[in-house]
Amino acid sequence: MTYKPEGHSDISIYMVASDAKAVLAFAAQVFGATELMRIEHPDGAIRHAEFRIGDSVVMVAQGNDTYTPFPVWLHLYVPDVDATFRAALAAGAEPVQEPAQKDDPDRRGGVKDPAGNTWWIATSSG
């Protein structure tokens, strides 16, 4: 018997979003995220959802009066940062930083999703 669900790492991001459904749609459209689980409140708001991007599971819930939504920063490696940046903009993201080669081995840029979360996307050359 294992202490965690199959396919989960020891640590996971948990987002409390101003628009959890928008986060799910954005992650699917831009990063090819696969939804693993969705539990909704009677009013249809997302109580808890999980999605996978690559080898990582991200959890998200709709913010409310009890759980105040707050934007987060995430860092994600992708095969082509420039193509992913363009896809994010096409999906409604706001540019934070155009992709550029950094002082480390990464070419990195940033976008803000429709729920206000900042996704730093990078492709490593090292």
* Coil, strand or helix at 120: strand
* pLDDT one-digit tens code per residue, 54-68: 999 999 999 999 999
Full-model pTM: 0.94
Residue pair 71/116 in contact by the 8 Å Cβ criterion: yes
User: Exposed/middle/buried for 100, CB within 10 Å: 0-12, 13-18, 19+?
Assistant: exposed
The pair of three-digit structure tokens given for residue 68, joined into one six-digit string: 């105040």
Per-residue pLDDT of the chain (126 residues; tens, 9 = 90+): 789 888 888 999 999 999 999 999 999 999 999 999 999 999 999 999 999 999 999 999 999 999 999 999 999 999 999 999 999 999 999 999 999 999 999 999 999 999 999 999 999 988
In contact, 31 and 18? CB cutoff 8 Å: no
- From 1.10.10.60, 3.10.180.10, 1.10.3720.10, 3.40.640.10, which CATH number describes the 13-124 domain? 3.10.180.10
Side chain identity, residue 48: H
| Residue ranges per structural domain of the chain | 13-124
Number of neighbours of residue 64 by Cβ within 10 angstroms: 12
CA nearest neighbour of 26 among 3, 56, 58: 58
